[in-house]
Amino acid sequence: MIVMIQELNELRRRLQSLYRADEKSCVRYLVEKVELSTDSKNRIYNIAKQIIERIKHNKLDIIDSFLQQYSLSSDEGVALMCLAESLLRIPDDHTVDELIKDKIVNQEWSKHLGSSASLFVNASTWSLVIGSSILKTEEKDSKFYHIISKLLKNLGEPIIRKAVKHAVLMLGKHFIIGESIEQVLQYVTPDQNLYSFDVLGETSEEYFNTCMYSVKTIGEARNSSDDCFKSNGISIILSALHPRYEFSQFDHIADEVLGKILALCREAKKYNISLCIGAEEAEKLEMSLILFEKLRLDESLSQWNGLGLTVQSYQKRALHILDFIEDVAVRSKHKVMVRLIKGAQWNSEIKRAQELGMINYPVFTRKSYTDVSYLACAQKLLSKASHFYPCFATHNAYTFATIMEIADKNHPGFEFQRLYGMCKDMYDYVMSELATNISCRICAPVGTHGNLLPYLIKRLFDDRSFISHDVDLLIEDPLEKSKSFNYEPHPNVPLPQDIFGSDRKNALGIDMSDLVTVTQFFDEMKNFANKKWQIGPIIDGQLLLDNAKFYKAVNPADLRNVVGEISDATDEQVLNALSIARSAFSQWQDISVKERAKFLEKAADLLEENIKELIYVLIIESGKTIPNAISDIRKTINFLRYYAVIAKNKLNDVEKLPGMVGENSFIEFGGRGVFLCISSLPSAVVDFIKQIAAALATGNVVLVKPSKYVPIIVYEVVKILHEAGIPHDVLHFIPGNVDTIYDKVEGIVFTGSLQTVRIINERLIGSGIPVIAETDGLNAMVVDSSALMEQVTTDVLSSAFYSRGQNCSVLFIQNDIAEKQIKMICDAVEGLRIGNPIELSTDIGPVVNKISMDMLVQYTKKMSEDAHSTLLSKLPVNMDGYFFPPYIYEIEKISQLKQEVFGPVLHIIRFDKAQLHEVINDINNTKCNAFSLHSYIQSRVNMISKRIFTNHIYINRSIDSKVEADGINYLKYFFQEKTITTIFDT
């Protein structure tokens, strides 16, 4: 539970209430707040147009000409930017060549010939046309041309590689001021522009040391001004000071982060230079505000006004963040530097909210709304001159003109800011002609091109407002534009709950980055703490506990905590359930598909209403962590809705077929009869309930046999299905041994191990009874040298270790990056938390029972004794309960793995690039269940996706075996078709 940030004053409560507020009401409020007179709007328009007209005829330098020709709105521009982003971080020439070929060959470069006034751009385009031709391999070429092409290819690839790398370095030099702070300060002269430097570091310690050194170096080189706003400064990213800078970890890391940033601030105060805290994802804002408040109120930083904070206007909370900062400024009796930006992580904010099923977005969905928010914030900043030193970071002429219009002519001081390498012409003009008494600070990244270019390319993708050629678009009034939209959100960005279209809703999530929500969540968890379950068979709607023999279910995280008592069904009860279900089949068949679908949709709604209790059950019964438990229940809800929609749209009761004159042919879809749903895996709750839903949707009656170790969650879901309208005689809950009816049902659907499904199949040889099995086998991930290693690390941790792992068993890493990638993974594992899953900070909970624990102990002991495996990492653990730490082994071949391992154990295999096809063959021979590929070479992605034989393929993301991927083809296993042909008199 978050302790440090529990207390919420009125300001922070109001701030948090706007986190994911209704967009329309937010925008309406901001437009009314900012409303300008007609005269003001006319002056703003004229100034903005004057700026655009003045600079658009300026001769562009080489890079600006190139970016204008290959804009990010074109496929060719995007291809070049992707190439630039990846090229310098790839260590081997072979992969570099493949990347260049991948991005260059299939683009239409010839359409850009002669389109630019720049000789360099036209020469570059000719080079791209020729390079594309050389790199193509067309089998249809004539023999002579093929020989020439091959010769050019062999000679040309190294030349092309060198030329492309040189071009990327030119791009880097345009946007990166220098590779070290000493180099930068030699370039910067005190009588020119002011700078704010962003530095990089590969680890948190390296970043802190680099920042500390940079502050000292900048301070020693500063001019003699007593005003900290009139000297160069530095910008700091808090998340770079600690690898676990996350809301869930804040209690554990707050003191360490505060200590580091306080030390940097004290050093900045010593030299009287500014230090601005940079903006990050919306879910980190609350942490940043708390740390900012503690810093500003710290006595050791008194008499220093250089502490700054960045505010992103695309956040709905932006204006009210300023209220919070103002309150801190008043209490601390200091002016605060506020850097106002529009925001640079829009795509990831939208995707994150959709992925988690949030009620709304933390950001606006239209650019004009962000612009309005920016202007509202600017008004606030300019109206409180005694509390704020405003820094307006913008590349937009209209925004600049508006700020100049609303600023008091006697304002004591504010500044504009721009990114190094961008909008130089605009600011050279406006600073010399329109705002001669106002300074413009340049925000300049410092570091190696390989490390910084990915960041800068992302900034280019996110900041396209000044790349437009259309003057009218550049000087549109965001207030009028917002009104023209009637303040409505963008129609192409549906709310997170509506991303699946009008047919079904995305399951609503729980925002565990919002303190108000988190507090309410844990209050509700306390309500369930004393609840004890007593469960047994539910047959024909009756819970049968008479003369029952119970066994205890204990919390795997706390073996003293008895969760409840379970009674298994007797053989007689199992046969009785089978008889009742079979009698109900014909009546259930008579209920239309649409009615059955409504039952499933109602069940999904009820699960959503009861999500907190179901999450609690998953945590205390199976050891799921809070994020995993939320995710599992949401996926269960989504599967119920998914199959309901498929049933309604695809499983019509009768479908007319084309036929001869005088005949009518129809096909009817119906259930097979009684389906026995069995789960032997304690971790596969989502897959199991998905199968129950599929059987019901297709018109079958169902007997549910849960895993012995997690029956309570299934018991609760069965009760909800009954409450939703599934008839009692159609769905029965029979925990315990059901071997006696394997051959008495019309179908078996099974979730569990390969070993168990083989036993079932052997029992049913010759019976004709279908067995639909989903087994957890080995899952593999392949990482080539074009992969983004930070993303790989995150996805490996998520797949192999979070909760208790098992979504990634084997990780293949290309040799060229293996050493660095393995170190990053091992270092990240050291920061994981093993503990009680009821705590938000826990990453790895317990395994579900002693059998699983003992199996893992025996397995890791055997692996540690294997001469062909090397233990790379093991996290120590000393706790009561079934806690098992993460293990990482390096092995030589996937064939060394002889069994499924259900726990946080990862096996790493290195491979040479030439062995990639062999790796794919090995994975196919092992019959892996799921596969992930991390590669930014699209041709390689296409090739491997076709060759791999797994059920689920994930590209540049973590492995998740419960993605909604089973559609109508899966449901066909659950129903039978009946063809009816009638002859009528013509």
The three state secondary structure string of 84-134 is: HHHHCCCCCHHHHHHHHHHHHCCCCHHHHCCCCCCHHHHHHHHHHHHHHHH
The C-alpha atoms of residue 539 and residue 887 are separated, in whole angstroms, by 44
CB 65 within 8 A of CB 434: no
- What span, in angstroms and rounded, lies between the C-alpha atoms of 971 and 652? 13
784's CB contacts (< 8 A; 6+ apart) are 95, 814, 913, 916, 934, 935, 937, 940
774 as an active site residue: the answer is yes
**Which pair of structure tokens corresponds to residue 142?**
């004539």
Q: Cα separation of 667 and 669, whole Å?
A: 7
Q: Is 668 one of the catalytic residues?
A: no
Instruction: Please tell me which residue in 391, 808, 890, 900 is annotated as part of the active site.
Output: 808
Burial of 347 (0-12, 13-18, 19+ CB in 10 A): exposed
User: What is the DSSP secondary-structure string of 639-652?
Assistant: HHHHHHHHHHHH--
Q: How many Cα atoms occupy the beta-carbon half-sphere of 519 within 13 Å?
A: 11
Longest dimension (CA), the chain: 106
Tokens of 778: 């080995």
CA distance 547 to 545: 6
Pairing, β 887-891 against β 869-874? antiparallel
Phi/psi for 620 (5° steps) reads -85, -20
Determine which one of 774, 890, 900, 928 is catalytic: 774
> Is 514 strand, coil or helix?
coil
For the chain, how big is the Rg over CA atoms in Å?
A: 32
CA distances from 266 to 83, 185, 302, 334, 663 (A): 41, 22, 10, 15, 90
Give the per-residue SS3 of 255-288.
HHHHHHHHHHHHHHHHHCCCEEECCCCHHHHHHH
Task: Give the ranges where 176-275 is alpha helix by DSSP (H).
Answer: 181-187, 204-220, 250-271
**Residue 493 CB neighbour total at 10 angstroms:** 18
Cα–Cα nearest to 124, from 59, 170, 56:
170
C-beta separation of 90 from 148 below 8 A: no
Contacts of 450 (CB under 8 A, 6+ apart): 88, 89
Burial 383-413 (b: 16+ CB within 10 A, else e): ebbebbbbbbbbbbbbbbbbbbbbbeeeeee
In whole angstroms, give the CA distance from residue 407 to residue 385: 10
Catalytic residues: 774, 808
